[in-house]
Chain A
Amino acid sequence: MHEPADNAIIAVRELSIRLGGKTILDRVSFDVRSGESLAIVGPNGAGKTTLLKCLNRILVADSGRVDVAGRPLASYSRKQLARRMSYVPQADTQAVPFTVEQFVLMGRYPYLSPFSPVGRSDREAVREAMALTGTAAFADRLLGTLSGGERQKVFIAAALAQGAPIMLLDEPTTFLDYHHQDEIRELLARTAATTDRTTVSVTHDVNRAALESDRIVALRDGLVVFDGRPEEIMRPDELRRIYASPFLLVAHPDTELPMIVPRATSRGSS
């Protein structure tokens, strides 16, 4: 059994969950330290998204425990938890009928009481979040009319408006083009620095995870198969163990950190 790290803001211990008769997470244990940026990587179906949902109690695990700021996750009310932790879900195509500003304002829900109108501090938090994310320009547009990149910025703005010290992100850049990927990353790095935030993000992109995270946890078939620093995961044998396929690595010209490059197919090499 792990001893929790001194500054662990989230401590996950022996977490297991079965969904639809299949074990999705199998005795998962790791810590998230205060102020760090942690990436969760692993092959498709490894349980990454499920793990993120368990951290936020959207899903309740069958066994094991999660402590947030030294308190069991189950002891938080939903509103208390929302003041600690915000969540940016995987891109969802279902239409949401609200304008950008209305949607960001909903991030203030944990601070509102029934019948109460939105207060000045709520307006201020929303204004700030929209300014930081560059979404103020399309405040009055409907969410359904935005491009993928704009939409993602709005979801991050809503999470920022929530004013929580921990942010969970599920594939924040997966469906975006290079330009928007860079924009979103830049935005996340900038806001994390100014708000001293802890970030847990699920991603497919190990290169980006290695460049931008303080630590990486890798899952495979519901088990934690790696927990360490970026330079430790960027080794062919380590990656092969996680993804069960051979990798080609070359040093990044700026940081010397090994990066995965795609193997040339037979057509490309001829």
Chain B
Amino acid sequence: MSRAWILPILLLLAGAVLVAAPFVGMTNVPLSALWGQADDPTVVNILWKIRIPRVLMAFLAGSGLAISGMAFQAMFRNPLATPFTLGVSSGAALGSAVAIHLGVAFTWLGIPAVTTFAFGGAVLTIVLVYGLTRTHRGFSTASMLLAGVALSFFFSSLILFVQYLSDFTQTYRMLRWVMGGLDRVVDFRDVLTVLPFVVAGSLILLYLTHELNLITTGEHLAASRGVEVDRTKKMIFFAASLMVGAVVSICGPIGFVGLMVPHICRLLVGPNHRWLLPATWLFGGTFLTVCDAAARTVMAPIELPVGIITALLGGPFFLWLLLGRSTAGEPL
């Protein structure tokens, strides 16, 4: 199939999934509920107050995580980079764990405390990683990677410490938070909270598609071709990290979307970010929406955390990719 067809197909697929997904679930929702006509008014509420916000959130989260992963893979020239490589999700998890342990119950602008604390943790991580790696000669991606991984481990042990101090139910809530899921989305307000971050982050990365290509060929070469490398890296770092921070604060760390979707899309449309970015955006959103629909229905009435579904699909895929590459004699 020609590559020119892939983007329109992904676009159609995304549209179809967005339209169909709100009607998938335990309660059967008729199409007429869309314009408020149903025998049972709760069905209308389920559709408009629960399902549609949740589907939109799944799509935004999937898109945001996928293009963040893509941007980090380009910036670090490392196919193993994920949206969580720099510790943003660990920072958010620590924030949520602290909020749960302290039993903070306030809501701020309608946002629950756990989310606010998680976002605080994410922002703290972003500031720390940036502050630790900035030097007078600009900032090196190698030290950024090391600082991110080190902070990630540090936060993980702090999370264990907080869990150790917590009681049984608190520890369960913390564990459940880390599994990631979209069941926390119960309102359009959540969608509106994440929307500006994902839209701004996506637009900034779209603005940088030429630069993302050049950075993939090496920073020195990119600089010699006219890229303001330091400024570009800063923009990629902040755009992607804030997007990840916002998504993770609400949905928790949903794994594998940010790692595997960019790789699948590279196989589909090639490495040029001009095509890769829109493809990754559409595929990431579609993929997470489908996984969430599966999470709601596979073991109904029990709902699975969507992170388990993405990882169950992502793990084998990733091994296949790894083995396929190594048998083809190509370095990963």
**Is B one of A's binding partners?**
yes
Of residues 187 through 237 on chain B, the ones whose CB sits less than 8 Å from some CB of chain A are: 206-210, 213-214, 216-218, 220-221, 223-229
Contact B224 A102 (CB under 8 A): no
Interface size class of A (residues with CB under 8 A): 20 to 34
Name the residue of chain A whose CB is nearest to the CB of B137: A60
Chain A residues with Cβ under 8 A from B223's Cβ? 56-58, 78
Residue A87 lies at the interface, judged by CB distance under 8 Å to chain B:
yes
Contact A58 B330 (CB under 8 A): no
25 contacts between A and B (CB under 8 A): A56-B223, A58-B223, A60-B137, A77-B228, A78-B223, A78-B227, A78-B228, A85-B224, A87-B221, A87-B224, A89-B220, A89-B224, A96-B218, A98-B271, A98-B272, A102-B271, A102-B272, A106-B217, A106-B225, A109-B210, A109-B214, A114-B209, A115-B207, A144-B331, A168-B224
Contact B217 A83 (CB under 8 A): no
Contact B272 A110 (CB under 8 A): no
Min Cβ gap A169→B in Å is: 11
Min Cβ gap B72→A in Å is: 15
Of residues 154 through 191 on chain A, the ones whose CB sits less than 8 Å from some CB of chain B are: 162, 168
Measured in the bound complex, the distance between the Cα atoms of B217 and A103 in whole Å is: 8
Contact A83 B226 (CB under 8 A): yes
Min Cβ gap B38→A in Å is: 44
Measured in the bound complex, the distance between the Cα atoms of B224 and A85 in whole Å is: 8
Contact A82 B225 (CB under 8 A): yes
Contact A82 B226 (CB under 8 A): yes
Residue B101 lies at the interface, judged by CB distance under 8 Å to chain A:
no
Contact B226 A109 (CB under 8 A): yes
A contacts, CB < 8 Å to B: 53, 56-58, 60, 77-79, 81-83, 85-87, 89, 92, 94-98, 102-103, 106-107, 109-110, 112, 114-115, 144, 162, 168
Measured in the bound complex, the distance between the Cα atoms of B332 and A144 in whole Å is: 11
Contact B272 A89 (CB under 8 A): no
Name the residue of chain B whose CB is nearest to the CB of A53: B220
Contact B213 A107 (CB under 8 A): no
Min Cβ gap B115→A in Å is: 33
Name the residue of chain A whose CB is nearest to the CB of B229: A78
Residue B266 lies at the interface, judged by CB distance under 8 Å to chain A:
yes
Convert B235-264 into 0s and 1s, putting 1 for each residue whose CB lies closer than 8 angstroms to a CB of A.
000000000000000000000000000000
From B137, B216, B221, B228, A97 is in contact (CB under 8 Å) with B216
Chain B residues with Cβ under 8 A from A83's Cβ? 226
Convert B290-305 into 0s and 1s, putting 1 for each residue whose CB lies closer than 8 angstroms to a CB of A.
0000000000000000
Chain A residues with Cβ under 8 A from B272's Cβ? 98, 102
Please report the total number of B residues contacting A with Cβ < 8 Å.
26
Contact A107 B225 (CB under 8 A): yes
Nearest 5 A-B pairs (CB), nearest first?
A82-B226, A87-B224, A110-B226, A79-B226, A97-B271
Chain A residues with Cβ under 8 A from B209's Cβ? 114
Min Cβ gap B161→A in Å is: 37
From B213, B216, B224, A58 is in contact (CB under 8 Å) with B224
Apart from A56-B223, A92-B218, A109-B226, what are 13 other A-B pairs with CB-CB below 8 Å?
A56-B224, A60-B137, A78-B223, A78-B226, A82-B226, A85-B224, A94-B77, A94-B218, A107-B225, A109-B214, A109-B227, A110-B226, A114-B209
Measured in the bound complex, the distance between the Cα atoms of B225 and A110 in whole Å is: 6
Measured in the bound complex, the distance between the Cα atoms of B224 and A79 in whole Å is: 9
Contact B331 A95 (CB under 8 A): yes
From B208, B213, B221, B228, A114 is in contact (CB under 8 Å) with B208
Contact B210 A89 (CB under 8 A): no
Name the residue of chain B whose CB is nearest to the CB of A114: B207
Contact B226 A81 (CB under 8 A): yes
From A57, A86, A97, B266 is in contact (CB under 8 Å) with A97
Min Cβ gap B140→A in Å is: 13
Contact A114 B225 (CB under 8 A): no
Chain A residues with Cβ under 8 A from B229's Cβ? 78
Measured in the bound complex, the distance between the Cα atoms of B45 and A10 in whole Å is: 72
Q: Taking A60-B137, A102-B272, A144-B330 as contacts, is the C-beta distance between A109 and B225 under 8 angstroms?
A: yes
Chain A residues with Cβ under 8 A from B206's Cβ? 115
Measured in the bound complex, the distance between the Cα atoms of B220 and A94 in whole Å is: 13
Contact B217 A98 (CB under 8 A): yes
Measured in the bound complex, the distance between the Cα atoms of B266 and A95 in whole Å is: 15
Contact B214 A106 (CB under 8 A): yes
